[in-house]
A and B are shown apart, each in its own frame.
Chain A
Amino acid sequence: MSPVIVARDLAIGFPPDPPLLESATFEIDRGEIFAVLGGSGCGKSTLLRCLIGLEQPLAGTLLVEGSPPEMKVGKPTYGVSFQHGALLGSLTLEENLALPLTSWTDLPDEAIAPIVRAKLAMVGLDGAAHRLPSEISGGMRKRAAIARALMLEPTLLFLDEPSAGLDPITSAGLDELILTLRRTLGLTVVIVSHELPSIERIVDRSIVLDAQARRIVATGAPKDLAESDEPRVSDFFHRRWRAA
């Protein structure tokens, strides 16, 4: 089976500053939960923005579902949940979730309403349909954002820091949801995260980026990486801080 995402000798960054990441090569298989790990400033979020087409790589090859990612007007082929949810503030949760369906499908309004309710129930937001994003907590916003990302039934889902700032119970619930979605819908999930407990629980494979080396310093299953001899990887997994 061909990989969903292929990156070869990828370089990303913002000229004239030095590249954040160089010579990055990795593949993500269909149905895999894949994590991009690393400390602050190593280019995790920039790599995610390249994967979804919001930024262009400086060099190398990047293919998502066989073609270079491009953010264009039209029905998106993948779902994205941003770090702080990025729900539209002037719309209720119900309206936020309905937006992709009303724009990109021919489903009648009376069919969209129960679908939206079902997706809200899926993320445990029953009863919050008529509330504005400003009226709910950060964790609820994140869950609503994941539900919105799934409205068009993508097979590929990108999650930027899905568990950051959540309490352990909500975080565990979100982990369980991601695993269920993979199991029931066959989703491929790409996660950018710092949250080690969550990563170790749900991620199949991950890459670790390093800001100083500007490259991928390790690839593998989180439990294997946790036992790595590579100092930067070991420090990351064992939460050891070293002065620069």
Chain B
Amino acid sequence: MGHTTTLTTPHSGSAIEPKPAFTIARSDRTLILAGDLTIASGSELWRKLREQLDDAQEPIASIDLTRARSVDGVGASILGSFRSQLATRGVDATVVGANQQVSELLGLFEAGEQPERPRTSFVERVGQRTVELGAGLRNIVAFIGELTVELVGAWRRPRTANWRSTIPLAERAGADAVPIVLLINFLVGLVMAHHSAAKLRQYGASLYVADIVVLSVTRELAPLMTAIILAGRSGAAFTAEIATMKVSEEIDALRAMGFGPVRYLALPRLLALGLVAPLLVVLGDMVGILGGMVMAWVGLEVSPTAFFNEALRALRPFDVIGGLIKSVVFGWAIGVIACQRGFAAKGGAAEVGDKTTSTVVTCLFGIVLLDAVLTILFQVIRSI
């Protein structure tokens, strides 16, 4: 007769939960299980059966369940796994004494062979990410091509595009963004003037704070800050909206009704962003200069009239026009990236989140890159 292990309170859940007991005993080559083989004692059952595997006694030939009071899915699964592990050691342990219900349960929870989870090395992952990056850039270029084709198609047959949604979209992207655009640009102008103030006062050139503020705001800061706000608000929203439509088959439904999803969804969004971006930048220019004027007045004792006159002297029309051109390019870039990422979504809710994050990051990168290119281009134009 082999040893008997009696377990009284296998741990599971709260302390007040009643904890059923089970016992394991060996009789020659038979393993006798008695009591409740359930989820409540699952952890302990697993551990005790593992000990039996490592036991140096004669191999188990049978598992006796005559005295098993109750068996649930977890108990049956653990028993099945135990038998599988015995089988890998060349032992085919038969189950005896199980009533019909338990026998059926054991059959139900008999696990088949599962394929191993595919594993990839670090180098493979780097390679995959590089290929994905290249594919992402290629997809954006392809999407611009598709947009061009759809734009021509919409031009020929205007009723096939959803132009009516342009105004509500422009309202969401533009009017709703006005407060944050005003606040950010005002503060940026203020900070710009503040940082310049100390040095300019040192050289007795306080008045030139107007030149610094007006040129930096109109040429760079207002278009850049406004584009960042647009990317965070509208770009993310467009991607989330289109990606959700994609995963819930609304895009497929549009196709089935004969609509081109790019023409129907992307063109109005691009148009809306192209319209509102320069308008927001005009507002951004004004409040950015106002912020600089306030700081010059308070910090450098430059009167608003003197600031205004100096600003007008320093400013050239192309400074403002260049900023507005940048804003339109930024707006379209945000629209292209946001819509392309939305259409690329597949799967479920997690993919919507991934694509939205990707839109914001790609937009920020794209905006800075385009800003550098346009700044150099405009410098060349000014020098001609």
Contact = CB atoms under 8 A, between A and B. Distances in A.
B77 A107 contact: no
A106 B12 contact: yes
Contact of B101 (A120, A126, A132, A184): A184
B376 interface: no
A184 B104 contact: yes
Contact of B76 (A111, A118, A129, A130): A118
A104 B74 CA distance: 13
Nearest to B110: A121
Nearest to B11: A106
A120 B12 CA distance: 24
B348 A119 contact: no
Interface in A81-120: 89-90, 104-108, 110-111, 114-115, 117-120
Contacts of A152: 39
A127 B115 CA distance: 6
Contacts of A105: 12-13, 39, 42-43
Contacts of A107: 42-43, 46, 74
B78 interface: yes
B350 interface: yes
Interface residues of A, number: 33
A122 B351 contact: no
A124 to B, nearest CB: 9
A137 to B, nearest CB: 14
Contacts of B111: 114, 117-118, 120-121, 126
Contacts of B104: 180, 183-184
B73 interface: yes
A105 B42 CA distance: 9
A185 interface: yes
A98 B142 CA distance: 41
B46 A184 contact: no
A185 B46 contact: no
A150 B74 CA distance: 10
Contact of A185 (B42, B43, B105, B351): B105
A115 B114 contact: no
Contact of B109 (A89, A110, A122, A135): A122
B67 interface: no
B348 A133 contact: yes
A153 interface: yes
Interface string B110-139: 111111011000000000000000000000
A145 to B, nearest CB: 14
Contacts of B115: 127, 129-130
Interface residues of B, number: 39
A134 B346 contact: yes
Interface string B49-81: 000000000000000000000001110111011
Contacts of B109: 118-119, 121-122
B145 interface: no
Interface in B253-296: none
B158 interface: no
A75 interface: yes
B91 interface: no
Contact of A184 (B77, B108, B110): B108
A119 B77 contact: yes
B38 interface: yes
Contacts of B78: 111, 114-115
Contacts of A183: 101, 104
A184 B84 CA distance: 22
Contacts of B350: 89-90
Given A108-B43, A183-B104, A184-B104, A153 B110 contact: no
Q: Which 6 A-B pairs have the closest CB atoms?
A: A89-B348, A114-B81, A90-B350, A134-B347, A118-B77, A126-B112
27 contacts: A75-B13, A106-B12, A106-B43, A108-B46, A111-B78, A111-B81, A114-B78, A114-B80, A114-B81, A114-B111, A115-B74, A117-B112, A117-B114, A118-B80, A118-B81, A118-B110, A120-B114, A122-B108, A126-B112, A126-B114, A127-B115, A134-B247, A135-B347, A152-B39, A180-B104, A184-B104, A185-B72
Given A107-B46, A118-B81, A127-B112, 10 more contacts: A105-B39, A107-B74, A115-B42, A117-B77, A118-B76, A118-B80, A130-B117, A133-B348, A150-B73, A184-B102
